[in-house]
A and B are shown apart, each in its own frame.
Chain A
Amino acid sequence: MARRFAAIWFSHLTTDWMVIRKPELKAVPFVFALPDRGRMSVTAVSKVAAAEGIALGMGAADAKAICTGLQVFDDKPERAAKLLKGLGEWCIRYSPIVATHLPDGLILDITGCTHLWGTEHDYLKDLVSRLKGKGYETRAAIADTIGAAWGVSHFGRQQITIIDTSAHISALLPLPPAALRLEEPVLQRLKKLGFYQIKDFIKISRSALRRRFGEAFLLRLSQAMGQEEEVIKPLQIAVPFQERLPCLEPIRTKKGIEIAIRRLLEALCQRLCKEGKGLRTAKLTGYRMDGHIEQVEIGTNKAANQIEHLFKLFELKIASITPALGIELFVLEAPEVEDSEPVQEALWAGSPGLDDQELTELLDRLAGKLGAKSIHRYLPDKHFWPERSVKHETSLQAKTAISWQTSKPRPVQLLPRPEPVFVAAPIPDYPPIVFRYKDKVHAIKKTDGPERIEREWWMDEGEHRDYYIVEDEDGQRFWLFRLGHYSGDKTNDWFLHGFFA
């Protein structure tokens, strides 16, 4: 399929933006200026000021002399880029591949997009008139190559120009060399040599042109003619699994959003099912009337392509969407997609265990509301050190070759960090006979131990622990340990680490 590109030129980008912000400036000539080599030079001219004869690069003082009522505002160097990025993101509704072309243009790869609006002319007209509605004066063109579209949008006679397929070279011929996006010195040289139109030099042999104007000139020329591929960097990388739902009327109600989500999910899940895939994360973007973008995201524990289930996950998030004046476009994308395992129908009902679909759905719902961090599962780890003896596992399917340690008893409750206790031990290296924990004295009746657990010196430093299981007179069973060896001068080196059943 032949590729088609649209170039949009914002003839007064920053000044139009200023007028949108301050409508009282609409009839007033004003310019933006930046200090340049010790003087204020004009960097952007409003439409009214341009009609008065003020041009770019002029000194602000000269401009004021030409036009008495001229207002001068300070410019910000990165303002144009920021504005273009915002406008480009808005334009994604027209094409998934939109790139900014500094300082004042947008390039859209519209291959296969225009039929949704009817013809290419309708497409471009819709785009330009909506930008006009926002307050931006634009000129636009569609052609086979980026270079041609750009050139025609800047130097064409009409506001909207459609160059037919493979007619771009003839459309370029009458344009001035500046339409090829050339550097200023090259343009000067061309002018000096009397090349006022592209047709003047297009027939000249390439070697002669290279000698006089350099490689960059030839590259631009062949890009415009379609002999060299030109790559644009899209603002947002298009996601392969994406569904869009433009709405005739802006959606404002919960019910409306629900219907929109359901439709998008139906389309997306059908595609996922057909390709044997399931999504792990999904992002719903709502483009609001006032230009804001509302986003909600969901995640699943396992590749999922069930409409009902995914809808339930989104349902929990609907409350966080603010439609305000209404949402006019919904986009559902699945950035993370995995192969989904084929589901086998169970022949008899039994307890399905961890692999069950419904369990994953339940956990997805819990994770959706409470956050994925709240779900934990533990597997044994190859450590004796109690705090490290379990490993946190996120996946439900993960299995381990190590088995749980059962040779030594472990407490049912383990304190996250050992708490110091005061003890009285009759002889060194003996379990205590009494200990105090939280202002309560426990007299110890029975003891077991010690179980010495050495510290893993390659992981952290410190002393070993001698664990004792002790039982007090009420029958409560505790896990105490002494840190390191007994020494006469230290007093508080006993800790409580857990409670037995």
Chain B
Amino acid sequence: MEQAKRDIIAQLRKDILLMEGFKPATEGATSAFGLGPIEAAFPNGVFPAGSVHEVLNLEAEHTGATGGFIAGLLSVLMRSGGPCLWISTCRKLFPPALKAFGVEPERIIFIDIDREKDVLWAVEEALKYKGLAAVVAELRELSFTQSRRLQLAVEESRVTGFILRHDPLKISPTACVARWQVKPLPSETEDDLPGVGYPRWQVELLKVRNGNPGTWTVEWSEEGFNVLPAAEAITEEQILKFG
């Protein structure tokens, strides 16, 4: 009896996960994003494409790092051929840079909007359209209800949404599946050669529904994401602190 109940609950949980947009890992599928341990932090060990992600960007200096990380994710999402919409009120993104992250800049359509209110409308309209690979929106404010609406829109269309938020004072609970924060880290060059190395970030998964939050060090090279082992990351930090 107990066993049967537990089975039912486990099955229901799985069903709920399915409904929320998590695909069960298929056997033998390699992690498409190359984000190994980070993807493992999500339920079923799969990056939840087809849902809304929230990316915090609290300091102006971190915008570049956030943009780079999202561009890296976009390169995988856009492989299927769909275009991407980038909706914002004050965009500084420089399209040629995206090429270095494996994204074809001409397949990104930028929507520049004057009024914050219209951004939400535009995002919702865009998220409802199935043919898009992803929608990136720079938003100042997002209430729980609004985020719920966006989540409902993507549950139908399976589009991945990224909401970039700049204002630290307006962070409130949302219905997004994950909340990220990306900060730049000093790069390392091979064999201590002079110059600047590959872009390196500290990627934090602050909140994730049914998953395990955590912090990782991620580097972007020509091959894609490269999640550095946690031990190394710690030693680096120690080196920074003490030496």
Contacts and interface: CB of A to CB of B under 8 A. Distances in A.
Contact of A370 (B81, B82, B110, B113): B113
Given A413-B92, A501-B68, A501-B69, A446 B196 contact: yes
A372 B214 CA distance: 42
A400 interface: yes
A501 B67 contact: yes
Contacts of A413: 63-64, 67, 92-94
Contacts of B61: 474, 476, 499
Contacts of A377: 106, 108-110
A445 B64 CA distance: 18
Contacts of B185: 475
B132 interface: yes
B97 A353 contact: no
Nearest to A440: B61
A194 interface: no
A50 interface: no
Contacts of B195: 446-448
A87 interface: no
B220 interface: yes
Contacts of B48: none
B95 A359 contact: no
**B96, B99, B129, B220 — which one has the most chain A CB atoms within 10 A of its CB?**
B96
Contacts of B64: 411-413, 476-477, 498-501
A378 B99 CA distance: 12
Contacts of A501: 64-65, 67-69, 71, 97, 101, 184, 199, 201, 220
Interface string B42-65: 000000000000000000011111
B112 interface: yes
Chain A interface residue number, banded: 35 or more
A369 B119 CA distance: 11
B125 A365 contact: yes
Interface in B157-182: none
A414 B92 CA distance: 6
Nearest to B195: A448
Summarize A's interface: helix, strand, loop or mixed: mixed
Contacts of A416: 92
A405 B105 CA distance: 11
A380 B184 contact: no
A122 B122 CA distance: 52
B101 to A, nearest CB: 8
A124 to B, nearest CB: 51
Contacts of B156: none
B11 interface: no
Interface in B92-142: 92-101, 104-114, 118, 121-122, 125-126, 129-133
A354 B196 contact: no
Q: Which 10 pairs of residues, A with B, have the shortest CB-CB distance?
A: A501-B68, A499-B64, A351-B82, A414-B94, A475-B186, A412-B67, A404-B99, A351-B81, A376-B110, A351-B80
Given A354-B83, A359-B129, A414-B92, 5 more contacts: A374-B114, A405-B96, A411-B94, A446-B196, A475-B187
16 contacts: A350-B80, A359-B129, A359-B131, A366-B122, A366-B125, A377-B109, A390-B94, A390-B95, A390-B96, A411-B94, A412-B71, A446-B196, A499-B61, A501-B71, A501-B184, A501-B201
